[in-house]
Structure 1
Amino acid sequence: MSLSDPLSFFDVKGKVALITGASGAFGAVAAEVLSAAGCKVVLAAGNADAMADVADKCTGDVHQINARPSDEATCADMVAKTVEAFGSLDILVVASGMNKVALINDMEPETFTNVMDANVTQSWLVARAAAAQMKAQGQGGKIVLMSSARGLLGHPAGYTAYCASKAAVDGMTKALGCELGPTGITVNAIAPTVFRSPLTAWMFEDDDKAKAVRSGFLARVPKGRLGEPEDLAGPLLFLSSKASDFYTGHILYADGGYTAG
């Protein structure tokens, strides 16, 4: 790479990327962006039909695994199938997770446990499996986790499980960044605020309820708008490429300035 060819820092052509939660909003963005940039992508998701729709939007080599990172054996199998399909694993994007909203006295303990498991334990398990493969390859690697502005900020409307889980992802990102840094593996997280997805589409509508909720929220966003999927594309490509080789343990807020004020 050379400073006279700055775009080469972002070149991921030929790299192999495993994306968990590939049927979700962020997973779909990751799949489309990395495949368009020249990666060979392995999509992993529990919803096979939705994953197939994402695969149709990808260019180049795509492999699909109908599974969630639910346990140690499944995560090891995801990594093994990635290597079997394309020969290596260079990038891991953990886009899987969940949220259940309820006030603390209305939330069942099992629900809290399920959110923590999906967002924290499963992220840890698949990162663990990927790190072992990347270390064995001896060429470093990129691990990108999915956090949220809610890992830093609370929320009054029943987000105790989600906020706690994303704060844990932030801590995991920093700890793994320190632990894996000497191996050449970087670990970073993207932390968006509200961005357009099937779950948040109602907030972008023009009805009175959506306008009221959006108005209150946007009062805290210096950029004056909600996020779009393409707002996640640049941060993802940066964290997946050599451009971020000296960045690890970072939480990159894709939030229009929401957490700055």
Structure 2
Amino acid sequence: MSLDNPLSFFDVSGKVALITGASGAFGAVAARCLSGAGAKVVLAAGNADAMADVAATCKGDTHQINARPDSEDACAALVEEAVATFGRIDILIVASGMNKVAKIGDMEPATFEGVMDANVTQSWLMARAASARMQAQGDGGKIVLMSSARGLLGHPAGYTAYCASKAAVDGITKALGCELGPMGITVNAIAPTVFRSPLTAWMFEDTDQAQTVRNGFLTRVPKGRLGEPEDLAGPLLFLSSKASDFYTGHILYADGGYTAG
């Protein structure tokens, strides 16, 4: 690679990417972005029909696994099947996760634990399984976790589980960035604010309620708008490619300046 051809730093053609939560909004962005850039993508999700819809938008080699990363064995099996299909794993994108909103007095401990398991434990287990394979391959790798602006900032509307879980993801990212860096494996996280997805579509609608919520939120966003899926594609490609080889343990805020003010 050379500065005379800077786009070569972002080349992921022929790389093998495993994407968990591939049926969700961020997973779909990762699948379309990386497959469009020439990577071979392994999609994993519990919703087989939604995953098939995402796969239909991908280019090139694609493999689907109807499974969630909800146990140590499940995570190991996902990595094993990716390697059995395409021979190796170069990129891990953990796009799986969940949120349950309730005030602390109304949230059951089991609900809190469920959010922590989905967002924290499963991220850790997937990073554990994938990094072991990457170390065995001996030529590095890329791990990208899904954080949120809520890992840095609180929220008054019953987000204790979600905020705590994303702060923990940030901690995992930083710790693993230090631990795996000597092996050539970078570990970073993308932390968006609100962006368009099936769960947030109502905030983009032309209704009085949506406009009130949106306007209140936008007073904190210097860019003056909510996020679009395409806003996540650039950071994702950067963190999945050689362009980010000197970046690890980093939380990249895709938030229109929300956390800066």
TM-score band, normalised by the shorter chain? over 0.9
In structure 2, what is the equivalent of residue 150 of structure 1? 150
C-alpha displacement of 1:71: 0.4
Task: State the one-letter code of the partner of 2:13.
Answer: K
**Alignment map for 1:36-115 (pairs within 5 Å):** 36-115=36-115
Instruction: After superposition, give the CA deviation of every residue in 1:11-67 in whole Å (9 maximum; x if it has no partner).
Output: 000000000000000000000000000000000000000000000000000000000
TM-score, L = length of structure 2: 1.00
**Alignment map for 1:171-190 (pairs within 5 Å):** 171-190=171-190
C-alpha displacement of 1:106: 0.4
In structure 1, what is the equivalent of residue 35 of structure 2? 35
In structure 2, what is the equivalent of residue 245 of structure 1? 245
In structure 2, what is the equivalent of residue 20 of structure 1? 20
Q: CA–CA distance in 1 between the matches of 2:14 and 2:64?
A: 18
Q: CA–CA distance in 2 between the matches of 1:156 and 1:115?
A: 18
C-alpha displacement of 1:167: 0.1
C-alpha displacement of 1:78: 0.3
RMSD across aligned positions (CA): 0.2
Q: CA–CA distance in 2 between the matches of 1:221 and 1:74?
A: 39
Q: What percentage of residue pairs aligned between the two structures are identical? A: 84
C-alpha displacement of 1:125: 0.3
Q: CA–CA distance in 1 between the matches of 2:170 and 2:68?
A: 21
User: How many residue pairs get matched?
Assistant: 261
Task: State the one-letter code of the partner of 2:138.
Answer: G
C-alpha displacement of 1:69: 0.4
Instruction: After superposition, give the CA deviation of every residue in 1:196-216 in whole Å (9 maximum; x if it has no partner).
Output: 000000000110000000000
Q: CA–CA distance in 2 between the matches of 1:167 and 1:63?
A: 32
Q: CA–CA distance in 1 between the matches of 2:56 and 2:206?
A: 31
In structure 2, what is the equivalent of residue 137 of structure 1? 137
Q: CA–CA distance in 2 between the matches of 1:139 and 1:69?
A: 25
Q: CA–CA distance in 1 between the matches of 2:33 and 2:105?
A: 41
Task: State the one-letter code of the partner of 1:221.
Answer: V
C-alpha displacement of 1:96: 0.1
SS of equivalent to 1:57: coil
Q: CA–CA distance in 1 between the matches of 2:250 and 2:140?
A: 17
| Runs of 5+ unmatched residues, structure 2 | none
C-alpha displacement of 1:7: 0.2
Q: CA–CA distance in 2 between the matches of 1:215 and 1:72?
A: 43
SS of equivalent to 1:63: strand
Q: CA–CA distance in 2 between the matches of 1:227 and 1:32?
A: 17
Instruction: After superposition, give the CA deviation of every residue in 1:45-101 in whole Å (9 maximum; x if it has no partner).
Output: 000000000000000000000001000001000000000000000000000000000
Q: CA–CA distance in 2 between the matches of 1:79 and 1:118?
A: 18
C-alpha displacement of 1:253: 0.1
